[in-house]
Amino acid sequence: MTDTPIQEAAPKPEMTRLQRWWDSDFMYSFRHAPVAVVSFFVVAILVLAAVCAPLLAPYDPFNPATLNLMNGFTPPGDANAFTGESFFLGTDDQGRDVFSTILYGMRISLFVGFSAVLLALVLGVFLGLLAGYVGGWTETIIMRVADVQLTFPAILVAMLIFGIAKGITPAEYRDQMAIWVLILAIGLSDWVQFARVVRGTTLVEKNKEYVQAAKLIGRSPLAIMLRHILPNVLSPVLVIATISLALAIIAEATLSFLGVGAPPTKPSLGTLIRIGQEFMFSGEWWILLFPAATLLALALSINLLGDWLRDALNPRMR
Amino acid sequence: MLGYILRRVAQSALVLLVVGFVAFSMFRFVGDPIDNMLGQERTLEDIERLRAQLGLDDNFLVQYYRFLEQAVQGNFGLSYRQGREVSEILMERLPATLELAFVSGMLALIGGIMLGIFTAIRKRGVSSNVIMSVSLIGVSLPTFLIGIVLIYIFSVELDMLPSFGRGEVVDLGWWTTGFLTESGLKALILPAITLGLYQMTLIMRLVRTEMLEVLRMDYIRFARARGIKSRVINFKHALKNTLVPVITITGLQLGSIIAFAIITETVFQWPGVGLLFINAVQFVDIPVMAAYLMMISVMFVGINLIVDMLYFAIDPRLRVDRGG
């Protein structure tokens, strides 16, 4: 990257790409927004911890061989009365290490969240481009479907899709399929936001000269949509994607909490909170508190990051 | 104006038809209800008998026609799980949900507007900043966590309020109400706060933004110059002009309150239609799911329609613009 001889020769040293990126408006506003910096690091650490869960987790909570029921209900930090083992964040009723279950649970929550947003993004952006660029009947149908779906809260649509998908999958595969059904349900409930914004921007962009020029040299409509218009509609999409991620993680947690999401054999943060709630009245607070705090930290920091991103990418705010 | 109203009514009818088709498709294509109703020890005879009894042997069109005919009369057949009339179960559960939704809706509306005005007038005050920061956490906090936190504080630690159920209810024949007994009212407090809090923060933020916008307008400045009391300016001149977007959002939120009641009802084991629906999803009880879907769509579409009509009543400018 760095080309030292040229840099020394030039009167004003050429900036490397990294430096230019660091000095860009975007990074400038990032460095001067402490909330955004803190949120970014919280999200980064949590995502990293989730990705590296098998390396970081002291126990494998899903391997029955390593579980010892005698270790059940060990409070955080204390040694267990029977086995003498101690656990950083305590254990649940089955003697599973809470810290390890949170790491693995976060992995599932984040996987479902990212995948669902990706599904919603691809579907929404494509349908939005199609509606905006092609117009006519295509547009009417896509946007009417979007309107009807928007009448209903996303979480309700997700529950319905989950229920229907559960009905279609044979009973013996339900637990295995649950994660994929969740992704499908949350993703399909969330594409409308993307489609509406992309359609709006596309309607503006398609009359610009570069699109006319591309048409003139005979590029196919698909190529114009994907290679020419798409790059120009991406920044609002990025903002929606970030906020959608927080919403998707909350939606997943909510569905799992309600018992229509990740099964207890593959618990996400929502499932862990559902399990923990049962022990709230008997005083084992740690089984509930730590997963709940993790979920809150994750959702809040992504939300704050999205808030900042919206302002930073909005040209009117500069 | 009449044309606009007619167009909106036609659109609403179309939405209901689409939802009706979805509901029917669920009946026709999702799962085998027989699987769900009979246990492992079933005989072929049992299956045949139940099939005929539920009318699952007839062809697609016959079933579709029967569905439409019955749905209009509010008849969705027998619940696969409970074996009772779905409409009967729904009517039994509906008062609980509507009472909860009403109380939390009022809470959200009154609380949201008050706090919104307050934070807009005292833009730079410490208390406003605190309220705004707390509201941001409120938006990120999932509904079920709010419920759990409230249960922990008021039921487990302070032991003041019940953590589940509806308390004692008075049966009025066609309606059961928790408003008339002490335990019923006590049981209502925590669920209503849980359900209303999110909508309250939303309405508050909206009122605040709109108020700030309006307060910058010339006519407010002139009113101030004329020496009109600021209380009159804030509540009479400014608030009125923030109401159109507030009513839109509130109207749409009313629908979400009924939908989000599913979560609150599960946390507090509140015996309403939301809890019924989530149990139906868990057990793939299609008639209950379909009936709930139809019921809630009628509510949503109706609310949207009323909100649109209200525009004309509130904002005279619209009557001129869209006239004829």
Task: Return the residue of B nearest to A282 by Cα.
Answer: B156
For the cut 80, the answer to whether the pLDDT of residue A74 exceeds it is no
Residue whose C-alpha is closest to residue A252's, from A197, A187, A305: A187
Convert A133-161 to b/e letters by CB count within 10 Å (16 or more is b).
beeeeebeebbeebebbebbbbbbbbbbb
Q: What is the mean pLDDT of residues A93-117?
A: 85
User: Is the interface score ipTM higher than 0.90?
Assistant: no
pLDDT of A121? 93
Give the whole-angstrom CA distance, residue B257 versus residue B109. 12
Give A268-306 pLDDT, tens digit per residue.
888 888 888 877 777 777 778 888 888 888 988 888 888
Beta bridge partners of B177: B170
Convert B75-111 to b/e letters by CB count within 10 Å (16 or more is b).
bbbbbbbbeebbbebbeebbbbbbbbbebbbebbbeb
For the cut 60, the answer to whether the pLDDT of residue B321 exceeds it is no
Angle at B133 between CA B131 and CA B134, to 5 degrees: 65
For the cut 60, the answer to whether the pLDDT of residue A89 exceeds it is yes
Task: Return the residue of A nearest to B31 by Cα.
Answer: A167
Residue whose C-alpha is closest to residue A125's, from A201, A70, A179, A11: A201
Beta bridge partners of A91: A97
Give B250-292 pLDDT, tens digit per residue.
777 777 788 888 888 888 888 888 888 888 888 878 888 888 8
What distance in Å separates residue B311's CA from the closest CA in chain A? 18
Cβ <8 Å between A257 and B255: no
Angle between helices B239-268 and A230-257 (to 10 degrees): 40
Highest mean pLDDT: which range of A18-32, A103-117, A279-293, B69-83: A103-117
pLDDT of A119? 94
In degrees and rounded to multiples of 5, residue B78 shows phi and psi of: -95, 140
What distance in Å separates residue A146's CA from the closest CA in chain B? 11
pTM score, whole prediction: 0.81
Cβ <8 Å between B281 and A159: yes
Q: Which of A162, A254, A300 sits opposite B140 (nearest CB)?
A: A300
For the cut 60, the answer to whether the pLDDT of residue A123 exceeds it is yes
**Percent of chain A with pLDDT strictly greater than 90:** 7
> Containing H/E element for B97?
helix B86-121
Which of A255, A258, A272, A281 should one mutate to test binding to chain B, selecting the residue with the greatest count of B CBs within 10 A? Answer: A258
**Cβ neighbours of residue A6 closer than 8 Å, sequence gap 6 or more:** A14
The token pair that represents B269 in the structure block: 């084991």
Q: pLDDT band for position B118 (50/70/90)?
A: confident
Give the whole-angstrom CA distance, residue B113 versus residue B105. 12
Q: What is the mean pLDDT of residues B97-121?
A: 87
Give A170-194 pLDDT, tens digit per residue.
767 777 778 888 898 889 888 998 9
For the cut 80, the answer to whether the pLDDT of residue B70 exceeds it is no
Cβ <8 Å between B296 and A153: no
Task: Return the residue of B nearest to A276 by Cα.
Answer: B148
Which sign, positive or negative, has the C-alpha torsion B121, B123, B126, B128?
positive
Give B212-240 pLDDT, tens digit per residue.
888 888 888 888 888 888 888 877 778 87
* Chain A residues whose C-beta sits inside 8 Å of any chain B C-beta: 148, 151-153, 155-156, 159-160, 162-164, 166-168, 171, 246, 250, 253-254, 257-260, 273, 277, 280-281, 288, 292, 295-296, 299-300, 303-304
What distance in Å separates residue B162's CA from the closest CA in chain A? 12
Query: What's at B20, amino acid-wise?
Result: G
Residues of B in contact with A269 (CB under 8 A): none
Whether the CB-CB separation of A252 and A270 falls below 8 Å is answered with yes
Q: What is the mean pLDDT of residues A17-39?
A: 79
Cβ <8 Å between A162 and B31: no
Angle at B193 between CA B99 and CA B259, to 5 degrees: 60
Residues of A in contact with B148 (CB under 8 A): 273, 277, 280, 288, 292
pLDDT of A12? 52
**Percent of chain A with pLDDT strictly greater than 70:** 85
Cβ <8 Å between B297 and A152: yes
Rg (CA), chain A: 24
Give the DSSP per-residue string, A115-165.
HHHHHHHHHHHHHHHHHHHH-HHHHHHHHHHHHHHHHS-HHHHHHHHHHHH
Give the whole-angstrom CA distance, residue A170 versus residue B32. 10
Highest mean pLDDT: which range of A11-15, A83-87, B182-186: B182-186
The token pair that represents B246 in the structure block: 């507030």
DSSP type of residue B157: I
Q: pLDDT band for position B309 (50/70/90)?
A: confident
How many CB atoms sit inside 10 A of residue B18's CB? 15
Least trusted range by pLDDT, from A63-77, A258-272, B39-53, B230-244: A63-77
Cβ <8 Å between A156 and B266: no
Cβ <8 Å between A260 and B284: no
Whether the CB-CB separation of A210 and A204 falls below 8 Å is answered with no
> Containing H/E element for B104?
helix B86-121
Mean of pLDDT over chain A: 80
pLDDT of A227? 85
How many CB atoms sit inside 10 A of residue A209's CB? 8
pLDDT of A174? 72
What distance in Å separates residue A33's CA from the closest CA in chain B? 16
Q: pLDDT band for position A314 (50/70/90)?
A: low
Cβ <8 Å between B26 and A258: no
**Cβ neighbours of residue B200 closer than 8 Å, sequence gap 6 or more:** B107, B108, B111, B112, B115, B138
Task: Return the residue of A nearest to B148 by Cα.
Answer: A277
What distance in Å separates residue A165's CA from the closest CA in chain B? 8
